Structure 1
Amino acid sequence: MNPYDKAHELARAIRASGEFQELKRTLEQAEQDQTGSKLLDRFRQLQMEYQQLQMKGEEPPRETVRELDDLLQKIGEKAELRRVLEAENRFGTLMGDINRIVTEPVEEFYKSRWKK
């Protein structure tokens, strides 16, 4: 069994999955609305900045937190944008589960080595 072949097979399965197809569909619909698309872009930009600060152990500025809250509220008011976030969440869960499954053999290997 060639792991590279299986990886390509997995990539095809991900592309064909309902979660990925729903994400594509909702994003394409949301991109039809320039205002909504800009809201999502700004939300993602601030979200990334926020996460980077947290990973460094720094507290995000209050203005950033307020703007994120405001954007999240505006996104929540627009059904097509809310569906994008929901689809991203479901796709993220799928990818997290796949990552956990794929990395399990390596984790088990190292755990068994540490017990000795």
Structure 2
Amino acid sequence: MTTYDKAHELAKALKNSDEYRSFLAAKNSVEADAQAKQMVQDFIARQMEVQYEMMSGKPEDKNKVEQLQKMYELLIVNSKAKDFVHAHMRFNQIIGDIYKIIGDSVAEGMDFFAKE
């Protein structure tokens, strides 16, 4: 079996996972509620902005973090928005874990690109 066959097998397993199905169900539910959809889009956009700033080495902006927390507190009041964000986070955790597993498995070869 080739590496590509394994990749397709992994893709199929992800697509059939409970986490992905829950994510799709939550996505369909939130898309049917314009207010919930907007809340989720605003929250995720702000969350990504804060994460990108932190990854780029900028100091944490306490005001943005507080805004993000307040947005989350409002978001979880809406069950559709809350369910979507939680399903999204669970599925993203799986994807992140898979990336880490793959990265760790080939780390020895990637050290060539590390600065000395």
Question: How does the TM-score come out when normalised to structure 2?
Answer: 0.82
Alignment of 1:1-116 (within 5 A): 1-107=1-107, 109-110=108-109
Output the CA distance in 1 between the equivalents of 2:65 and 2:97: 29
Q: Equivalents in 2 of 1:55, 1:40: separation in Å?
A: 22
Segments of structure 2 that go 5 or more residues without pairing to the other structure are 110-116
Alpha-carbon distance between aligned partners in 1 of 2:59 and 2:102, rounded to the nearest angstrom: 33
TM-score of the superposed pair, with normalisation by structure 1:
0.82
Determine the C-alpha separation between the residues in 2 that align with 1:52 and 1:95. 18
Name the CA shift for 1:15/1:69 in 2 (closer, same or farther; >3 Å): same
Aligned partner of residue 77 in structure 1, secondary structure: coil
Matched residue pairs, number?
111
Mind listing any 5+ residue stretches in structure 1 that lack a counterpart? 111-116
Give CA-to-partner distance per residue, 1:39-72, whole Å, 9 cap, x none. 1111111111111111122135454233312210
- Structure 1 vs Structure 2 CA RMSD: 2.1
- Using the TM superposition, name which of 64-73 and 23-32 deviates more: 64-73
Report the identity percentage: 28
Q: What amino acid sits opposite 1:78 in the alignment? A: N
